[in-house]
Amino acid sequence: MSTKTPDGRKCRLALSAMLWACLAQSVPAPAAESPAQLTAKYYQAAKKEGKIVIYGLGPPFLGPISDTFKKRYPGIQIEAFDESGRETRERIIAEQKTGRVIGDVVIAGPSVHQTLADLGFIEPYQSSQIPNFLPELVPDGGFASPFRASVFSMATNTKLVPAADEPKVWADLLNPKLKGKMASDDPRGSGGGGGLMASLEAAFGTEFLQKLAAQDIFFGKDTGTILAGLVRGEHALFITASHDDIIVARKSGAPVKFLKPKDGIRAAGNFQSIAKNAPHPNTAKLWVEWSTSEEGQQMLGKVGLAASRKGVVPAEPEADLRGVKLLPVVQTRQDMNYLKERTKRFETIFFKKN
């Protein structure tokens, strides 16, 4: 009977593997840099760049925010453009295709970021502050960071709807007394009306929308016109109102009130990302880290924006998300894939009468 001696090379490889496994267990992985370390590192490099260009946010909101940023990080200038997501998207695409990149940071809705990421025009980067944000308002995909929330819910004309009669839950909109007294943004497309109706459908089902459609809702394509109608008393409720618009109207003396039903409001993430080949990449990362910090998010709250970081106390009650239930939000890749299907379905529900 013969015995086989193990191959010497195999023994050495096995021993080597065991040794490396032991070393891996005994040597700790390098610690991740803290937010303070990151901002300090980026600031040192940003001082040499001296500037940042931001697309998608400008006056009046950016002024107080940028002033605080510049005091915190002297030597950095901010150039900002207040424009729609569509305008920002087209501007970035044109710059990237021509190789003449001017913009550093993009602030826009999820579909804009998804489009630019698909084209390879976004530099993947996420803030180290992500764990401090409401999970529902954090972008997926790893290429963008949270910034603020766009909040939508129902608003009333307080002269027509006293506090005792305010809807407490969304099902209250089915009250026969409200038939013909409500207005909404057109739900066809990617605007606030379509987004809120999609959230209501996800939360309560298509049957709820069908019952809501029977309430003879006035649909308009211009939010400003609908809001003016609410203020004048032509509508008792604006059921897809933006908190930004209601803040402005209320502070101007209009008899309006933003409601937060017990079963949820829609808060959709407004994100920020860094353009590929950004001319001021370190300043861009510094901005992302600071704007997602507690100080940065508190500044958003002070100017009336809805911050998406947990626990932020805003200056305006409409922007306060503390203790508020959020409706489901279908966004980014899902929203882009199903937008046409959703629009066709809402067309049938709300506009095709039997």
Min mean pLDDT across 6-15, 105-114, 172-181, 250-259 is at 6-15
How far is 326 from 318, CA to CA, in rounded Å? Answer: 14
Tokens 């901002």 identify what position? 39
Q: How far is CA 24 from CA 47, 98, 352, in A?
A: 39, 47, 65
pLDDT at position 12 is 45
Orientation of helix 192-204 relative to helix 332-351, angle to 10° = 90
Q: What is the domain partition of the chain in residue ranges?
A: 35-149+267-322, 152-266+334-349
Cβ atoms of 16 and 67 within 8 Å: the answer is no
- Under the banding of pLDDT at 50, 70 and 90, the label for residue 62 is confident
Residue-wise pLDDT for 115-155, tens only, equals: 899 999 999 999 999 999 999 899 888 889 999 999 999 99
Superfamily of structural domain 35-149+267-322: Periplasmic binding protein-like II (3.40.190.10)
How far is 324 from 264, CA to CA, in rounded Å? Answer: 7
- Under the banding of pLDDT at 50, 70 and 90, the label for residue 68 is very high
Cβ atoms of 262 and 207 within 8 Å: the answer is no
- Under the banding of pLDDT at 50, 70 and 90, the label for residue 11 is very low
Amino acid at 245: D
Q: Is the pLDDT of residue 35 over 70?
A: yes
How far is 263 from 204, CA to CA, in rounded Å? Answer: 10
State both tokens at 41: 């590192």
User: Taking the model in full, what pTM does it have?
Assistant: 0.82
Q: Specify the 3-state DSSP secondary structure of 120.
A: coil
How far is 290 from 145, CA to CA, in rounded Å? Answer: 12
How far is 274 from 118, CA to CA, in rounded Å? Answer: 14
How far is 88 from 106, CA to CA, in rounded Å? Answer: 7
Orientation of helix 206-213 relative to helix 192-204, angle to 10° = 120
Query: Considering only CA atoms, which of 331, 278, 308, 275 is closest in space to residue 124?
Result: 275
pLDDT at position 130 is 94
DSSP state of 29: P
- Domains 35-149+267-322 and 152-266+334-349 equal at CATH topology level: yes
H helices of 85-242, in order, are: 85-98, 110-118, 192-204, 206-213, 223-232
pLDDT at position 32 is 75
Q: How far is CA 314 from CA 194, 310, 311, in A?
A: 26, 11, 9
State both tokens at 85: 């997501």
How far is 270 from 252, CA to CA, in rounded Å? Answer: 26
Superfamily of structural domain 152-266+334-349: Periplasmic binding protein-like II (3.40.190.10)
